Structure 1
Amino acid sequence: MSPLPLLTSAPGVWVPLHGVGTRQDLPLPFSLVVVGAVAVLVVTFVVALRLWSRPRWQTAAGLPLPRLTRLVDHPAVVWTGRLVVLAVAGVGQVALWFGADLDRNPFPGLLFVWVWVGLVPVSLLLGAVWRRFSVVRLLMAWRGTLRADEPLPQWGLWPAALALVAFGYLELVQPDRTHLSVLRWWFLIWLVWVVGGALAFGGRWIASADPFEAYATLVSRVSPWQRIDGVLHVVNPLRHLASSRPHRGTWAVGAALIGVTLFDSLGSSTAWVQTVQSSDRPPQLWSGLGLLVLVAIAVGLYLLGATALETTTRTGEGASVNRLGVSLVPIAVGYTFAHYASYLVLEGQRVAVNLSDPLSRGQDWFGTATLGVDAGLVDHPTLMAWNQVMGIVLGHVMAVLVAHDLAVRWLPTAGTARGQLPLLVVMVAYTCGGLLLLFAG
């Protein structure tokens, strides 16, 4: 079953296809794009050094909106949202367990498009809504999972980071990953992982271990909506991110997301496909190793930059690794927009069409089964290319600014430029690598 162009089959090999296209699909000069992107990062770094040597975004601040807070916190609004999400999730479960293993089964698209990719724009536009409308939290409410601001366990977000790598394996490596029999087993594994932990540790385990909630929560820190003392505020997204509490393992989640997205681009590249097809080794082995290697590279680059900062500034605290972790969030978000934006727009429509017929019997539960998919977006390849490039560059610029504001909180003023140089090198490496794979995809 292949309900979406997630993959294609060739003799003995599965190749991910939800990348951003080949170099011919990006009508931009590659060398000029890379030079321009690196120049933007360097200029941003120099400007940041000259404009401020003291932290500007250390505390949360913004425009309070008490009336909007009362509206969105009204029980009628909250429970309406929860019931809508619960209904969509219920239809997805019907499709998973009782639907036919056909192309038009909506569950794979619901998982890989609406949930995995869609949580990014939703969290950016609406803020921290995932936790409020989480189906798992609603069903486990008797365990206190709906309590707000519950502290994370001492292990922080490390379980979520591991789960994100596992989901990357499902999305990019697992053979027949859109077949219902495969998805059912993975769903049961996720259910045991999240619900089993919640039974033992309560809602704090969900925040710590559910890969989707952890991802959505981190992305919401780049949104213009932030709760301060329980009141919604319109805030500077950079201040929102920089003033957020650095949980243990935040950097691991960010690095895992970057590594998974980079491998998605690599797996769609012509060079990778030819290498895998010409090898006697199983394609799954190639893909599994490739995924782990790129995640390890993303982790290693970050650790090199953070530990080099410690060495250069002689703080010796070993704290910069966790402190700077949130600076990886804009990079992960930028990669997601560059890699999945057109995929979300086009295939997201197909999910809405298929959702009306979860049992694949020609039914039309929600009146969307007869709608078509508007593919007008692909008629503007230059616009798409600029969107992809700007997504990566803007994410890295935001990361540089946030990392600078965080670093000057403990860097000696005289050694600011020298101390932050390793971080700039890491950002440049991420940028060049992301653009290279974008064009090679």
Structure 2
Amino acid sequence: MIRSLVPLHGVGSRQDLPLPFELVVAGAAVTLAVTFVALLWAWRSPRWAEPGGRALPRLTRLVDHPALLWTGRVLVAGLLAIALLALVAGPDLITNPFPGFLFVWVWIGLVPVSLLFGQVWRRLSPVRSLLAWRGAHREDAARPDVAGLYPAAAALLGFTWLELVQPDRATTAVLKWWVLAFAVWAIGGALLRGGRWITSADPFEAYATTVARLSPWQRRDGVLQVTNPLRHLSSTEAPRGLWAVCCVLLGGTAFDSLSGGVWWVRATQSSEQPAWLWGSLGLLGCLAVVVATYLVGALVIDRASGSRETERDLNSLGRSLVPIVVGYALAHYATLLVIEGQRVAINLSDPLGRGQNWFGTAELGVNGAIYDYASAVAWAQVGFIVGGHVLGVACAHDIALRTLPAERRTWAQLPLLLVMVGYTCAGLLLLFA
């Protein structure tokens, strides 16, 4: 039996992108440095400290209508039910749609969906729909409990280990156990602790809500508003543990690129130690580097501001990591979503592997036209990474201005700038690895 999922990478091998590597890295570093200098000279007071936007009460009434909400919830739950049916009763073959549904439609698809539509996953989440009788859809359940988002960060690390390290991760035998573990973690925890546990511990909702902070849709007093995405990101309250969630996401993406490099594959295959051990060490190493460098940059600002609430400042500045998370995700996985997302739609028509055609898509083919635009894809990947870091620098600068004394604003922000330049260069290096 064929038991492997397609590699989780985009179109074009990373070592063959048709771009001059040295110029791209130098240009990215200069772009960030010029952006930062321009901010210091032209941006001397916070601009996004307060929320603001155009209220849309009619649109709010439409999207909040119970008929529309429950129609969306039933559709999402129905797709999940078909995918779970394939996991439980379908063949353990590459044509089984569940691995693609999980790793492509859900994991990667959450990014563009959340960017375009805001907090839509929280409102349509099958976990919340299942636990609606426990108050999972109440407004107060949207706030994390006392643990903040740290449980979600731990769950995200576990999912990243499954995605990138777990042996035979695309087999139904392995995925069944992970789905059971998720049910115990998210649903069982919510039954014991209430709906707020979902906000604190569901890794997919934590990912989606983190990305949605950069969407143009924001709610104030229950009314939907359209606003500047950076204002939305910078003005909303940062929950406890947000910085940890972002660091796990960045560390996972970094290791995904690292583990796809030829030198890594050769080193691990020639080693006497099992690949999962090297993968675990590599993943934890990437996460440690991201965490350590972020703490260095953020703690300098925290100390310079004289704040005595270090964790609050770490989470507040953690909002500046969100554009970087989004940029990395789009650069590394957008093409995978385009290509393999089509394959999932095809395979979902025959979830049991019996030659059926439930939705009329089973006989369609994958449109690979994007392969004809390798240069455009490569430049888009670089643009997502550099653009994400530029937006991150702007967000960090605006947040830092709220607490730093005037005489410390320049030197106190330099370490975080260097960290972000380092992230940019490392991201591009791994993209080309």
Please say if 1:391 is aligned against 2:384.
yes
Q: Which residue of structure 1 lines up, in the alignment, with residue 185 of structure 2?
A: 193
Q: Which residue of structure 2 lines up, in the alignment, with residue 342 of structure 1?
A: 335
Q: How far is the alpha carbon of 1:19 from its aligned partner?
A: 5.4
Q: Kindly report which structure 2 residues correspond to 1:214-253, keeping only aligned pairs within 5 A, or say none.
A: 214-253=206-245
What's the secondary structure of 2:432's corresponding residue?
A: helix
Q: Which residue of structure 1 lines up, in the alignment, with residue 50 of structure 2?
A: 59
Q: Which residue of structure 1 lines up, in the alignment, with residue 86 of structure 2?
A: 95
Letter in 2 for 1:186: W
Q: Greater CA deviation, 98-107 or 314-323?
A: 314-323
Cα 1:243/1:261, change in 2 over 3 Å:
same
Cα 1:317/1:136, change in 2 over 3 Å:
closer
Q: How far is the alpha carbon of 1:266 from its aligned partner?
A: 0.5
Preserved contact between residue 22 and residue 269 of structure 1 (Cα < 8 Å): no
**One of 100, 111, 117 as aligned partner of 2:108:** 117
Query: 1:299, 1:2 → 2: CA distance?
Result: 37
Q: How far is the alpha carbon of 1:48 from its aligned partner?
A: 1.3
Q: Kindly report which structure 2 residues correspond to 1:10-409, keeping only aligned pairs within 5 A, or say none.
A: 18=9, 21-150=12-141, 151-318=143-310, 319-409=312-402
* Moved segments of 4+, more than 6 Å: none
Cα 1:26/1:282, change in 2 over 3 Å:
same
Preserved contact between residue 58 and residue 242 of structure 1 (Cα < 8 Å): yes
Query: 2:355, 2:243 → 1: CA distance?
Result: 46
5+ residue gaps in structure 2? none
Query: 1:23, 1:232 → 2: CA distance?
Result: 40
What's the secondary structure of 1:380's corresponding residue?
A: helix
Over the matched positions of the two proteins, sequence identity in percent amounts to: 59
Cα 1:64/1:20, change in 2 over 3 Å:
same
Q: TM-score, normalised by structure 1?
A: 0.95
Preserved contact between residue 20 and residue 438 of structure 1 (Cα < 8 Å): no
Query: 1:166, 1:284 → 2: CA distance?
Result: 13
Q: Which residue of structure 1 lines up, in the alignment, with residue 409 of structure 2?
A: 416
Query: 1:205, 1:79 → 2: CA distance?
Result: 22
Q: How far is the alpha carbon of 1:120 from its aligned partner?
A: 0.3
Query: 1:85, 1:222 → 2: CA distance?
Result: 23
Query: 2:15, 2:291 → 1: CA distance?
Result: 31
Preserved contact between residue 10 and residue 335 of structure 2 (Cα < 8 Å): no
Query: 1:157, 1:315 → 2: CA distance?
Result: 22
Query: 2:355, 2:422 → 1: CA distance?
Result: 50
Letter in 1 for 2:430: L
Q: Which residue of structure 2 lines up, in the alignment, with residue 10 of structure 1?
A: none
Query: 1:216, 1:36 → 2: CA distance?
Result: 31
Query: 1:335, 1:149 → 2: CA distance?
Result: 32
Preserved contact between residue 335 and residue 434 of structure 1 (Cα < 8 Å): yes
Preserved contact between residue 3 and residue 92 of structure 2 (Cα < 8 Å): no
Kindly provide the CA deviation profile for residues 156-196 of structure 1, in whole angstroms up to 9, marking residues without a partner as x: 10000010110011000001001000000000001100011
Q: TM-score, normalised by structure 2?
A: 0.97
> How many residues matched?
431
What's the secondary structure of 2:139's corresponding residue?
A: coil
Query: 2:58, 2:2 → 1: CA distance?
Result: 47
Q: Which residue of structure 2 lines up, in the alignment, with residue 14 of structure 1?
A: none
Kindly provide the CA deviation profile for residues 232-267 of structure 1, in whole angstroms up to 9, marking residues without a partner as x: 111100000001111111000000000000100011
Structural RMSD (CA) = 1.4
Q: How far is the alpha carbon of 1:347 from its aligned partner?
A: 0.1
Query: 1:365, 1:349 → 2: CA distance?
Result: 16
Preserved contact between residue 12 and residue 371 of structure 2 (Cα < 8 Å): no
